[in-house]
């Protein structure tokens, strides 16, 4: 793909900015800065991958994945701007990623090879980030809207967790919507990206599809587990965060 043709794709962002402005979404600046940020990050990644994919030891590879989790926690923090979110999101993403990668390595479904482990780890980290962000955004919004109801339940003897039980469920359901839709559409509406990449690299179609199924199941597990951990480690500070 020639560079000028590649740059033409930015027209899609420009049109998106116009739509966001027309609909008064108020997030035009965020869309613009994010579009620049993703281009810079991915170009840098293209250069760094030459070195990252040469890593040979498991601790080195896991160190890269841990670095991804650390960066992701800052991205989650940017949405709320509360120091507790930085810690809880890092804990949620790290624990979830370990609990996904560990068993897959033990069962040899995933090999301790840099070209497998690092991209897969990044996929899990990014997916978990999206899920906890959706869940926590919904959670804080509901807590803010129903604050008086929550305080009344606590005054009547309910624990804070009991008073927020319905909000917990709604927030977790919200975090699962993209994953469930993705599973429903896989194979019917689109061929998932990992399978496409493996097919383009010449892998056996059945092997590529089976590995993609593993990834889809892992994404659902990671999204739900990460959201549960995030909410359970953050709900006691929710009223303080929205104050």
The pLDDT of residue 187 is: 72
**For 58-93, how does the pLDDT look when each residue is reduced to its tens digit (9 = 90+)?**
999 999 999 999 999 999 998 877 788 899 999 999
The pLDDT of residue 166 is: 95
The mean-pLDDT minimum among 20-29, 146-155, 206-215 falls in: 206-215
Q: CA–CA separation, 100 vs 128, rounded Å?
A: 11
pLDDT tier at 210, thresholds 50, 70, 90: confident
Q: Are 118 and 45 in contact (CB under 8 A)?
A: no
**For 139-185, how does the pLDDT look when each residue is reduced to its tens digit (9 = 90+)?**
999 999 999 999 999 999 999 999 999 999 999 999 999 889 888 88
Q: State the pTM of this model.
A: 0.85
The mean-pLDDT minimum among 171-185, 189-203, 208-222 falls in: 189-203
**For 53-66, how does the pLDDT look when each residue is reduced to its tens digit (9 = 90+)?**
889 899 999 999 99
Q: Which sequence spans correspond to the domains of the chain?
A: 1-52, 57-241
Q: CA–CA separation, 107 vs 90, rounded Å?
A: 26
Q: Are 93 and 132 in contact (CB under 8 A)?
A: yes
The pLDDT of residue 191 is: 66
Q: Could you tell me which residues are beta bridge partners of residue 186? A: 190
Secondary structure (DSSP) of 67-135: HHHHHHHHHHHHHH--HHHHHHHHHHHHHHHHHHHHHHHHTTSS-S-HHHHHHHHHHHHHHHHHHHHHH
57-241: CATH number: 1.20.1640
Cα-trace Rg, the chain: 20
Q: Classify burial at 83, counting beta carbons within 10 Å of its beta carbon; exposed 0-12, middle 13-18, buried 19 or more.
A: exposed
Per the prediction, the chain carries an average pLDDT of 89
The pLDDT of residue 64 is: 93
Mean pLDDT of 13-35: 92
- Taking every pair of Cα atoms in the chain, the longest distance, rounded to a whole number of angstroms, is 66
User: CB neighbours of 13 closer than 8 A, spacing ≥ 6?
Assistant: 31, 32, 35
């Amino acid at each position: 793909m020639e560079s000028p043709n590649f740059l033409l794709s930015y027209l899609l962002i420009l049109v998106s900015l116009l739509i966001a402005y027309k609909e008064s979404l108020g997030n035009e600046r965020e869309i613009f800065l994010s579009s620049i940020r993703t281009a810079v990050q991915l170009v840098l990644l293209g250069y760094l991958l030459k070195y990252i994919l040469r890593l040979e030891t498991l601790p080195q590879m896991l160190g890269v994945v841990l670095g991804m989790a650390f960066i992701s926690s800052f991205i989650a923090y940017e949405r709320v701007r509360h120091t507790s979110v930085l810690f809880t999101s890092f804990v949620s993403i790290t624990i979830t990623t370990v609990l996904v990668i560990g068993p897959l390595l033990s069962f040899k479904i995933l090999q301790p090879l840099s070209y497998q482990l690092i991209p897969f780890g990044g996929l899990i980290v990014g997916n978990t980030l999206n899920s906890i962000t959706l869940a926590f955004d919904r959670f804080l919004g509901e807590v803010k809207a129903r604050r008086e109801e929550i305080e009344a339940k606590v005054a009547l003897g309910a624990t804070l967790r009991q008073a927020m039980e319905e909000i917990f469920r709604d927030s977790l359901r919200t975090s699962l919507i993209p994953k469930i839709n993705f599973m429903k559409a896989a194979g019917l509406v689109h061929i998932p990206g990992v399978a496409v990449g493996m097919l383009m690299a010449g892998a056996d179609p059945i092997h590529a599809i089976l590995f993609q199924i593993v990834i889809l199941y892992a994404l659902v597990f990671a999204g739900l587990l990460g959201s549960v951990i995030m909410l359970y480690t953050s709900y006691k500070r929710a009223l303080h965060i929205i104050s």
